[in-house]
Structure 1
Amino acid sequence: MRIAGGGFGAMENLGSQINSAGDEMFPYVRDSATLYFASSGHPGMGGLDLFKAVQDSTGQWAVENMGVPLNSPSDDFGITFAGSREEGFFSSNRNDNRGYDHIYSFEYPSVNIFIEGFVLDVNEYPVEEATVRIVGRDGLNVRAPVKKDGSYRIELKRDISYVMMAGARGFLNQNFELTTAPEEKSETYTVDFFLSPIHEPVVIENIFYDFDKATLRPESQQALNDMIKMLDDNPNVTIELGAHTDRKGSAAYNERLAQRRAQSVTDYLIAGGIDPSRVEAKGYGKSTPKTINKRMAETHPFLHEGDILTEDFVLALPPEQQETADQINRRTEFKVLRTNYNIF
């Protein structure tokens, strides 16, 4: 029966997807697309069984037997739910030799699916006023604020594809895609975001070259692919790739070596699909020694935040610490040049 104009319309048979040669009884409409009913004609366990039918956007019904323990070889019928909760009541004459009907309660195990993690900067400190936006194929569109400790937690549904983006003022965005598992079980996914600042150079970790050459070693591939993804996540950004050497050797030689190394990284990104106009190679040689930040000072106790690893500073250190300082100076960095590429 359809409701039309404030009144009731004509009766309408739901067709062979719902009705069978047996009896269909005790309908219960839970929402606009979900119907529960009892049937002795659909394949079941015996007598009346409980069924769930879901209507898709084309009007077709998908009918499934609700299975044990709700159904039994006896008659099971008359299901109701307690609002939106996965619990309620139904009737059954199971375990009664006289065939009398009894009321049973049921409660489905709660299935909770979450995604959680942290939004941190590249030095692994919480990013202030960061947000995580998540869009799902189920219609979810949420922008969740991140807590002061950098953590976030969002409830999801099973068997759904989601796209996430973490961002904050003064930082590049980072995206992530996730599809939750179809199994009917609780699960928590963990995804951490590490955002790169816009206004300062960022060391690209795990970039390796052959000794005294500009050839990229295979161990560099993951870090280089991460750079490609970062640029894809931020299509309006252009960057400079800067290569730096340690204090050893002449300034002219180190600058030439650094330029070739920066160009090797640039060429890899271009080969990976990045427009050449978005990346510039710059070889600094040993002209720009590293300034120690808070995280480096925590990692290397002999260094202090604000120290600049000039040649004189390094030479004043014991030999073992000199090697550590030289390793810190040997680096490949990127810095953001523009954030409005191809906007106009």
Structure 2
Amino acid sequence: MKKILWTGAVALLLITSGCGADKFVKKGDQHLAIGEYFEAAAQYRKAYMHTPIKERDKRGERAFKAAECYRKINYTARAIGSYMNAVRYHYPDSTTYLYLAQMQQKNGDYKKATENYKLYLEKDPDNVLARNGLEGCVMAPRWKEIPTDYSVKKEPVLNGRRTDYSPVLYGDEWDQLYITTTRPQTKGDELSGITGIKNSDLFLAEKDEKGKWLQPKEFESEVNSNYDEGACCFSPDGKTMYFTRCTSDPEYPRYAQIFTASRSDATWSSPQPLEITKDTLSSYAHPAVSPDGNWLYFVSDMPGGLGGLDLWRIRITSDGLGGAENLGEPINSPGDEMFPTFRPNGELYFSSNGHPGMGGLDLFCAKQDSTGKWNVENLKYPMNSAGDDFGMTFEGLHNRGFFSTNRNDARGWDHIMSFEKPDVILSVKGWVYEKDGYELPDGIVYMVGNDGTNLKLSVRSDGSFVQEIKPHVKYIFLGTCNGFLNHKEELQVDTSRVSKEYVLQFALASITAPVLVENVFYEFDKADLTPESTESLDRLVKLLEENPNVTIELSSHCDYRGNDQYNMGLSQRRAESVVNYLIAHGIAKDRLSPVGYGESKPKVIKKKLTEKYPFLHENDTLTESFILKLPEDQQEICNALNRRTEFKVLRTTYGLFDEMGNLLKEALTGKETENQPTEE
């Protein structure tokens, strides 16, 4: 009787266990259908534990499903255990060996990974992922024995107690760092069904007055929400942010989407979705803008790729986005290519688990040759590890910055590390600003070199730009801004053993306001120019040569002392002296109009001048009555400011039309007027 009762109890237990297991599988399938891998893995694990050992097929299938979910959320150790259970119960899908090998490789167990790659290749000998994985297992130990020149370092101040990844340097001095984080301070209270931790937000770290990084914090913006945000980038001018957002829906899969936000003062505007294609069943993530601002690179699983996630790009135009194009081989592979980013020199960096590597996502550098073909290189150790390495950001032109990795983290959580590689960099830093005024953030600098270089450089908010240059190349830089005359600079440098930065100044003359010609001196009470005036007048000659379609009025002014009629005559003769100098140095006479104003047009103070003379205020007019109210030493300063030589632009169409008003052939071909400002 006891034996009968015991047998019945065991049978009942097996029946109820089997029913419970099926219930867990059903729940797991529901979570998996909407991409909630963490929740799905928990249900499949329960199903596996409640499945009787005799039901070997079901245990194998449920172990495999759990393993797949663990693999997708970087629970590497659990994925390995579940795949091994699937193998133990002879799960028939041969990809079990491929994925098991990948996880073992990601765990740094290259010997076991090699065995399982070989087992899989017996069934599918032409599989690219398996072949590349096997090659990586062979190369990784060698790379560790002979590390590259990169140095990497943990950055505790930038990391929290959860996952932190995809750092992006920002700001004119690269003193701001945006990171993606899941630390407890992020918005929302719910845990993600995908990862089991909170949804990610963008946080901002800044440097203190000593140049040390402070801990990342939330920043004032509508960019962050209760959804997942992260993996951001910025346009070259810093005015537009692109970032990834993953919304959630309890009934449908989540598709990542790229959003944009615009910089307004010190905050970012309300984000707007960016429609890359009409396809609403594909993901679009990890944006990166090319250094010239003409292309948006991104990651997608949309049709037309080579497998998994691929790198794509789409042209950015003034009329919107163009058509998306796949980067193809050799960048994309049958695996996943993700997290693209650029160095200013045009090198494309990305991460891949499809090319031969050390395990997980490896960092790669892609360079284009003269024919436009991409050449791809693994960054090797120590930039890469057995874990996931991805999300690089560079400090300007330098080969240093930050990246993210989950190496040595048993939970698979990502953390920020810094990197640096010794590099000799020759660069030019230019400043575009108004003569007698401030920076011109809307300025454009055209850079042309005799090696074929032809770039259009936008300046930053402080009017500056930084660009790498090559030795022994002759460069011409043309500084332009709407409403201002052009200014040209030339530069050619030799080879250097150390990094060096050359500085160029682009002081642009206004088309709409009088421009002071500094350091023009005359003999006392005469119109004769002194030798000290030569340098300044030669710069004016150069300016007129660079802007051949401009005519100017050249004016001379006196202070209030002396007879009005005498001052008028003296100033006229002085203006004529300057014009005669310009004519003698090759400037056409009909481009120049000398005018003497005497004391009739006292100087109006611009804001910039108040920095040098604090007793003056913007828009003060230095009339006789104004000056006489000042102390004697300040009176002399104001009188000196009134004694000046200026020019103002009269026309910007000189030489463009014939006597009948027809546009000349030279103007049509652009030979004389390329990059010249048009008449306002």
Decide: shared fold, TM above 0.5: yes
Note the C-alpha offset of 1:164: 0.8
Task: Establish whether residue 250 from structure 1 lines up as the match of residue 571 from structure 2.
Answer: no
Q: Which segment drifts farther, 295-304 or 161-170?
A: 295-304
SS in 1 for 2:436: coil
What CA distance in whole angstroms lies between the structure 2 residues aligned with 1:84 and 1:251?
A: 76
Question: 1 or 2, which has the higher helix percentage?
Answer: 2
Equivalent-residue separation in structure 2 for 1:336 and 1:138 (angstroms): 35
How far apart, CA to CA, are the structure 2 residues paired with 1:231 and 1:180? Answer: 27
Shift of 1:320: 1.6
Contact 1:242–1:282 (8 Å) recurs in 2: yes
The correspondence for 1:135, drawn from 434, 448, 456, is 448
Counterpart position of 2:649 = 336
Q: 1:313 Cα deviation (Å)?
A: 1.2
Q: Could you tell me how far apart the structure 2 residues matched to 1:177 and 1:151 are? A: 17
TM-score, structure 2 normalization: 0.35
Residue 626 of structure 2 aligns with which residue? 313
- Greater alpha carbon shift after TM alignment, 245-254 vs 180-189: 180-189
Kept in 2, the 8 Å contact 1:239–1:334? The answer is yes
Does the 8 Å contact 1:237/1:340 carry over to 2?
yes
Q: Which residue of 1 aligns with 2:463?
A: 150
SS at the partner of 1:325? helix
Aligned residues: 244
Q: Distance in 2 between matches of 1:186 and 1:319?
A: 51
**Higher mean C-alpha deviation, range 294-303 or range 225-234:** 294-303
- After superposition, the C-alpha distances for 1:312-331 in whole angstroms (9 at most, x for unaligned) are 11122222211111111100
Name the CA shift for 1:311/1:136 in 2 (closer, same or farther; >3 Å): same
- Residue 218, structure 1, aligned to residue 534, structure 2: no
Q: Is the 8 A contact 1:120 1:193 kept in 2?
A: yes
Q: Is the 8 A contact 1:158 1:184 kept in 2?
A: no
Per-residue Cα deviation, 1:264-310 (whole angstroms, up to 9, x for no partner)? 00000010110001111000000111111112222212221111111
Partner of residue 54, structure 1: none
Whole-angstrom CA distance in 1 between matches of 2:638 and 2:476: 41
Distance 2:607 2:532 in 1: 27
Rg (Cα) greater in structure? 2
Conservation of the 8 A alpha-carbon contact between 2:551 and 2:650: yes
1:124 shift after superposition = 4.4
Aligned to 2:500: 187
User: Of 176, 193, 198, which residue of structure 1 is paired with 2:511?
Assistant: 198
User: Are 1:303 and 2:637 an aligned pair?
Assistant: no
Match of 1:322 in 2: 635
8 Å CA contact 2:472–2:493 kept in 1: the answer is yes
Q: Distance in 2 between matches of 1:224 and 1:256?
A: 22
Counterpart secondary structure, 1:298 = helix
How many Å separate the matches in 1 of 2:509 and 2:583? 20
User: What's 2:674 paired with?
Assistant: none
CA distance in 2, matches of 1:152, 1:298: 24
8 Å CA contact 2:424–2:498 kept in 1: the answer is yes
Counterpart-to-counterpart distance in 1, 2:478 and 2:530: 31
TM-score (norm 1): 0.68
In structure 1, what is the equivalent of residue 490 of structure 2? 177
1:1-344 → structure 2 map (5 Å cutoff):
110-183=423-496, 185-344=498-657
Name the counterpart of 1:20. Answer: none
Q: Give yes or no for contact 1:236–1:341 (8 Å, CA) kept in 2.
A: yes
Residue 185 (structure 1) shift: 5.0
Give the gaps of 5 or more residues in structure 2: 1-365, 367-374, 381-420, 658-680
Contact persistence 2:557–2:644 (CA under 8 A): yes
Name 2:235's counterpart in structure 1.
Answer: none
Whether the aligned pair in 2 keeps the contact of 1:203 and 1:331 (CA below 8 Å) is: yes
Letter in 2 for 1:341: Y
Q: Deviations over 1:50-107 (max 9, x none)?
A: xxxxxxxxxxxxxxxxxxxxxxxxxxxxxxxx9577x99xxxxxxxxxxxxxxxxxxx
Once residues 178 and 297 of structure 1 are traced to their aligned partners in structure 2, the CA distance between those partners, rounded to angstroms, is: 33
Say whether the 8 Å CA contact 1:114–1:156 is kept in structure 2.
yes
Letter matched to residue 250 of structure 1 = N
Between 187-196 and 274-283, report the one with greater CA deviation: 187-196
Farther off after superposition, 111-120 or 276-285: 111-120
Query: Aligned in 2, Cα 1:200/1:124: closer, same or farther, shift over 3 Å?
Result: closer
Between 1 and 2, higher relative CO (CA 8 Å, sep ≥ 6) is seen in: 1
Identity rate, percent:
46
Partner secondary structure for residue 148 of structure 1:
coil
CA deviation after TM superposition for structure 1 residue 133, in Å: 0.8
The RMSD of aligned alpha carbons is 2.0
Q: Report the CA distance between 1:237 and its aligned residue.
A: 0.4
Separation of aligned partners in 2, 1:274 and 1:113: 36
Amino acid at match of 1:304: H
Give the whole-Å Cα distance in 2 for the aligned partners of 1:196 and 1:319.
33
Give the unaligned 5+ runs of structure 1. Answer: 1-81, 89-107
> Within 2, Cα distance between the matches of 1:172 and 1:259?
25
Measured in 2, the distance between the counterparts of 1:162 and 1:302 equals: 43
Structure 1 or 2: larger strand share?
A: 1
SS in 2 for 1:226: helix
**Partner Cα separation in structure 2 for residue 84 and residue 340 of structure 1:** 50
Partner of 1:43: none
Question: How many angstroms apart in 2 are the aligned matches of 1:263 and 1:175?
Answer: 27
Cα distance between partner residues in 2 of 1:183 and 1:303: 46
Runs of 4+, deviation exceeding 6 Å: none
User: AA paired with 1:227?
Assistant: L
1:102 maps to: none
Structure 1 Cα separation of the partners of residues 447 and 644 of structure 2: 35
Q: Give the partner amino acid of 1:293.
A: K
Match of 2:20 in 1: none
Residue type matched to 1:117 in 2?
G
Distance 1:164 1:315, change over 3 A: same
